Amino acid sequence: MSVPKIMTIYGTRPEAIKVVPVIAALQRDERFISVPVSTGQHREMLDQVNTMFGVTPSYDLGLMKAGQGLNEIVSRAMVGLDGIIEEEKPDVIISQGDTSTAMTAALAGFHRGVQIVHLEAGLRTGNIQSPFPEEANRRIIGQVASLHLAPTAASRENLLRESFDSSRIVVTGNTVIDSLLKAASWDTPFADPALADAAATDRDMVLVTTHRRENLHAMEEIGGAVQELAQAYPDMVFVLPLHLNPKVRLAILPKVENLDNVIITDPLPYDQFTKLMDRSKLVLTDSGGVQEEAPALGKPVLVMRENTERPEAVAAGTVKLVGTDRNRITTEARRLLDDADSYAEMANAVNPYGDGQGAARSIAAISQLLGIGTRLPEFTAELAA
Ligand code: UD1
Ligand code: UDP
């Protein structure tokens, strides 16, 4: 057999953060030819990650458009990827997570008869409308995948419940922890002067991120909650690295931009964001990746959603679902900021998502799929404890 070609397709910031360890491992491994492909569904936010980790995609479709619709992204990505798949003829396509890029990459590869490997397989809320469209995307990818790289035992259970072949499921740990451990070791200074000054004081910091499509209607509630908290805790600093989606900015900025103790920044480079999570006392977010990272740093997370496909840190007590109602967000945040016992109960460093070996287990599982290697022992939360 000739050297197998592995095409890793990605397009947004979180996919990039989670595939870079896999791309780096493939590139080091002489058993594979690695072809990283970007759809460019995101631009600045994706380029930040590629630059930081030194990845240059072999192809970049440059798809991002302001206010892009789902069908527009999917149809343009499908056409663009098809030409690249036809040209490169990969043996395997890796699709990560649940974005429009990931779903399209899996379907485009499947249509061309390529084996699909789903990295971060088996996450489920059980509600096809939430998160939208991600829950549908990951289920579609699962249907066409030959190998399911489930981050945790719970995600494997979800797949088994849907009758996927157990021999095609491998628990790898989430590769986000590979990237987190690497970035955390860099200790990069904050480039934003206001953030650098605030971080150098002993003031408590609260980190807020929001971007989910199904939360766009609730952004003013979320902005209102941050405004109320910032006014109630003038000694604390609230930091909002705002997603570049103009709809997020328009809704959030009017509520918070004139408050002295609120720092608004552009999306932070991943190493600085990691440092900020570590510096923060509390994290409010609707992000998937942040729900995985903050618990590993021992930071309590209030998730501004009604459900989550990441139940492990909720079970460990470090993450709590609070929805998007302004009063509920502020009540839960106040409880943690005012009551040291409640805070201490949630501030336990837990690492149910990975141990930094997610990429190595993923590559080994792919080598077994291709008949050129064997799997490694699976990830268990005890390994990361
Ligand atoms: C996408 C994913 C979501 C993921 C999120 C991570 C889908 C359907 N959604 O949502 O699952 O959680 O990425 O952030 O795939 N923009 C820029 N520059 C950038 C990135 C975005 O200006 O680098 C702006 C553009 O105006 C763009 C808008 O943000 O139209 C929305 O981007 P899009 O990729 O459509 O959706 P996200 O909400 O980012
Ligand atoms: N992140 C970052 N800079 C920021 C905000 C987030 O590097 O300013 C990282 C974060 O650490 C996590 C990822 O981006 O790894 C999450 O991306 P996002 O919340 O956009 O998407 P999701 O994970 O919800 O799909």
Ligand 1 pocket residue status of 266, Cβ below 6 Å: no
Ligand 1 pocket residue status of 67, Cβ below 6 Å: yes
Low-confidence residues of the chain, pLDDT below 70?
1, 383-385
**Of residues 15, 60, 91, 134, which has the active-site annotation?**
134
The pLDDT value recorded for residue 159 is 98
Ligand 2 pocket residue status of 270, Cβ below 6 Å: yes
Percent of the chain past pLDDT 70, that is, above it, reads: 99
Cis peptide, bond prior to residue 131, ω within 30 of zero: yes
pTM for this predicted structure: 0.98
The pLDDT value recorded for residue 385 is 64
Please, which residues have CB within 8 angstroms of residue 359's CB and are 6 or more apart in sequence? Answer: 21, 22, 24, 25, 175, 178
Closest to 255 measured CA to CA, from 301, 219, 209, 212? 219
Best of 39, 43, 99, 101 for a ligand 1 pocket test (most atoms within 8 Å of beta carbon): 99
Closest to 281 measured CA to CA, from 313, 316, 218, 233? 233
Residue bearing the CA closest to ligand 2, atom 3: 268
Q: How far apart are CA 200 and CA 118, in angstroms?
A: 41
Domain-wise residue ranges, the chain: 5-174+354-384, 190-347
Q: How far apart are CA 50 and CA 35, in angstroms?
A: 14
Report how far ligand 1's centroid is from the alpha carbon of 287 (Å): 12
Fold classification of 5-174+354-384 is: Rossmann fold (3.40.50)
**Of residues 211, 212, 279, 361, which has the active-site annotation?**
211
Residue 134: active-site member: yes
**Of residues 15, 60, 91, 98, which has the active-site annotation?**
98
Fold classification of 190-347 is: Rossmann fold (3.40.50)
Question: Phi, psi (5° rounding) for residue 303?
Answer: -95, 120
Evaluate whether 5-174+354-384 and 190-347 have a shared fold: yes
CA angle (124 as vertex; 311, 210 as ends), nearest 5: 70
The pLDDT value recorded for residue 1 is 65
How does pLDDT run across 300-346, given as a tens digit for each residue? 999 999 999 999 999 999 999 999 999 999 999 999 999 999 999 99
